[in-house]
Structure 1
Amino acid sequence: MTERLVMRASTPALAEATIDYQQRNLAHFERWDPTRPSDHWTLDVTRARLEREAAAFDAGTLWRFWISSREAPDRVIGQCAVSEVVRGVFQSAMLGYSLDVDCVGGGLMHEALARVLDEVFGPLVSLHRVQASVRPENARSRRVLERLGFQREGFSPRYLFIDGAWRDHETFARINPTWGDSQRPAE
């Protein structure tokens, strides 16, 4: 939880709320999200996916949070995920996120991501690095990352197939500020 948000880990009980979130935002997400199979947001497939995500959360390999406002806790307005966790000498993961079109511009995603980064850089998870890839024309997303202290590291041409074509992305990353240059990863 944050000052304005309720953040819940994936669970099959959220299936209908997550489907509603996706349906409300189809046009908004079309430009930014990869194409999904036609059954991706059906109830049974969504429940099964959320069950797998709950197991991954427990295993420490994926942390997805579904975001709601405190005023309407049953209505999902966003999601953020730390995924593709690699331990060993890398101690890194990928960050992804999305927000309801009607909530964009109010600082809600910044608030949610700040909370998630506190957790994954904190002592329980203790990642060294989190990176995110953003399409260059997605200025709002780039600003959120920059406000959170992410640095642009590079450009990846034709990185993901989105909205009918291979799309370029910029890579941003943030290093855990509590890790010293010679801090060894946990064994």
Structure 2
Amino acid sequence: MNVIKTDIEGVVIIEPRLFKDDRGYFFESFSERNFNEQVRTVKFVQDNESKSGYGVLRGLHFQKPPYAQSKLVRVIKGAVLDVAVDIRKGSPTFGKHVAVELTEENHRQFFIPRGFAHGFSVLTPEVIFQYKCDNFYAPQSEGALAWDDPDLGIDWGVPADKVILSEKDKHHPRLKDADWLFDYNEDLYK
């Protein structure tokens, strides 16, 4: 696998090694050994999958400690714009984001470490999205930010009037109004 560093330390794009022939293709979508050696040591405990249509925007979500999560995400069908926002107070990249297009054709994966809010927008008529998490879902620990916070400056690739949100995602605070954020100096992997 090829690990591509981004402008935010720890947030990486992963390109698998693809083997193609006249039958189709094969690739290793995850190897714990390679991931731990090349990205960071993480034990994934839960796999999730969602199906969405064009304009659906899920995010920007996170879980607070002790249930903070790292995620390794990828698209099986369609295309999304996937976004990670640094919400660690004191971080040199606090409030900055990385956005990457994940498609069924590019087979890219995106690693979002603990301490980041995560979201994606659907760019195609249908998408099947998969993600591995290194902590179990804990509803009592949910946190989220407004997807359209102007201070974050995220271009989701979907016109605002075409964005489809859950009722919950319509009411999250802006980053500057958030009542809880991560601390950059805290080791979130202890």
Q: Is this a same-fold pair by TM over 0.5?
A: no
Greater percentage in helix: 1
Q: Which has the higher strand share?
A: 2
Q: TM-score scaled by structure 1? A: 0.31
Calculate the TM-score normalised by the size of structure 2: 0.30
Relative contact order, CA 8 A, sep 6+: which one is greater?
2
